[in-house]
Structure 1
């Protein structure tokens, strides 16, 4: 079996989508499935990760030539807003475009049941939930970087941290305000800033953040973030799955998260503390997480739960899906 595993805009798209594609290709290697990253039609399956215009064009050609099309649903209009400058404006016309684009697939891959529920309102194309997974090899040895990264950013434990692009949708306002309310605790957001792409409100939040709130910018070795951080605070408002959250779990970090549908599979008080209310709820939960024993228990449970999302545990799902669409 040969797969055309295409990633339109590969040189420009970063963040979770880029990581997901890297994970998929490692999983295909794991199960011994041959693939090319070029959009070709002499393949058994055409699998596209971003349904841009070139992907739609190739998908139409593939189907007309009897090649089944699999498309990932990384992008939704709901997930697109409050990201970068102009994304709120683009989110409205994006939805009808995605409804049309996703309809050109024979099967859609959704990273979570929440994403699946959204996509089933877009199109009646068959959907399958396959997690983006967590690359445990990428995090190997992260503990050895603790002193280096804490010294680099002048961080004292317990450090509240987040990993990923600094965007409003991921709970930037809550993260900054929580730091303001807890001046004796260090907060660090590890990830690209890309200030020229930020909207006015996002820029204001970053520039007016308190001194105990550090925005590191791009980190070459992301293991340093998980080494320096103690409490993974993810007050995101909308998420398709959250690879950084899975990475934090794999690193044994306790989670402080917003209680949104995406995270319904996580158990409050077991792997995480969930907050359904406003900033007061986050402040109360964070006060609980200053307890070393609670952090250790939640972190150990999170690490154990993350094993189900390892690339080796997820990889066979792709083999099964490709077999199904080629029958």
Structure 2
């Protein structure tokens, strides 16, 4: 079995999608699946990760040649908005384009049940859910970097942190406003801050963040983020799955997340603390103060207050780490072999 595993615009795309593709290829190695990263019809299966124009062209050729086409549904119009400059304007025409593009596949791979539910509004192509997974080896030895990264960014425990591109959709406004409300707590967002790609509102939020809220920009060793951070705060409004969340779990960090459908698989109070966007969370004593539409900042403040207690952090972190084992790459890898075998 040979797979043409193509990632269009690979040299330009970073973040979660790039990490997912890297994880897929590591899983292929674990499962003994032969693959090429070039788009070619000299393969048993054509697996496309980003349905750009070249991928669509190859998908059409593959269908004519009788070669099964698999497409990953990393991109949805719902996930595209509030990301970078112009993405809101592009989100509306993106949906009909993706309907046609995803419709060319024989099978769609969705990273989560939530993503599959969204995709069912696009096309009736059969779907298979395969998590993006977490590369536990990438985190090996992260604890040894704690002192270095705390000193580098002047962070005192318990540090509230986030990992990923600094974009509004991921809850930037909530993160910054929560930092405003908690001046005695250090907040750190580890990830790219490319101002040329940011909208006016995103740049304003970054510029007006309080002194206890640090935007580190790109970090040379992402293990340092998980070493320096104590509470992973993920107030995202829309997410297909969230690789950074899985990494935080694998690192044994307690989670504070927005109570959205994407995270319905996490048990509130046991594996994370969830904050209801409209107030009245799950035990984090949300007061329901709304500073922006859908932002229950007071709920995040209360949840983080609960995690000032080191024992509570350790308890939630240990449960999250145990749950993350099911997302390890070696636990998922055979799903791709089964999927390809089924199509063939």
TM-score above 0.5: yes
TM bucket, shorter chain: over 0.9
Match of 1:33 in 2: 33
Residue 130 of structure 1: aligned partner: 130
Calculate the TM-score normalised by the size of structure 2.
0.94
Partner of 1:237: 237
The two structures, once aligned, show a CA RMSD in angstroms of 0.4
Paired residue secondary structure (1:188): strand
Q: How far apart are residue 225 of structure 1 and its match?
A: 0.2
Q: Does 1:282 align with 2:300?
A: yes
Q: Does 1:175 align with 2:175?
A: yes
Aligned to 2:90: 90
Show the 5 A alignment for 1:1-327. Answer: 1-276=1-276, 277=279, 278-326=296-344
- Once residues 298 and 193 of structure 1 are traced to their aligned partners in structure 2, the CA distance between those partners, rounded to angstroms, is 30
Cα deviation code 1:27-77 (max 9, x no counterpart): 000010000000000100000000001000000001111110000000000
Structure 1 residue 259, shift from structure 2 partner: 0.3
CA shift at 1:101, angstroms?
Answer: 0.4
Q: Hey, what's the Cα distance between the residues in 2 that align with 1:149 and 1:282? A: 25
Q: What is the DSSP-based 3-state SS (H/G/I as helix, E as strand, rest coil) of the residue aligned with 2:188?
A: strand
Instruction: Give 3-state SS (helix, strand or coil) of 1:158's partner.
Output: coil
Q: Provide runs of 4+ in structure 1 moved above 3 Å.
A: none
Q: Per-residue deviation at 1:325?
A: 0.8
**Structure 1 runs not aligned, ≥5 long:** none
Q: Distance in 2 between matches of 1:316 and 1:197?
A: 38
TM-score (norm 1): 0.99
Alpha-carbon distance in structure 2 between the residues aligned to 1:281 and 1:16: 27
Alignment partners' CA distance in 1, 2:226 and 2:239: 20
d(CA) in 1 for partners of 2:189, 2:302: 20
How far apart, CA to CA, are the structure 1 residues paired with 2:227 and 2:174? Answer: 23
TM-superposed deviation, 1:271: 1.1
Q: Which runs of 5+ in 2 are unaligned?
A: 280-295
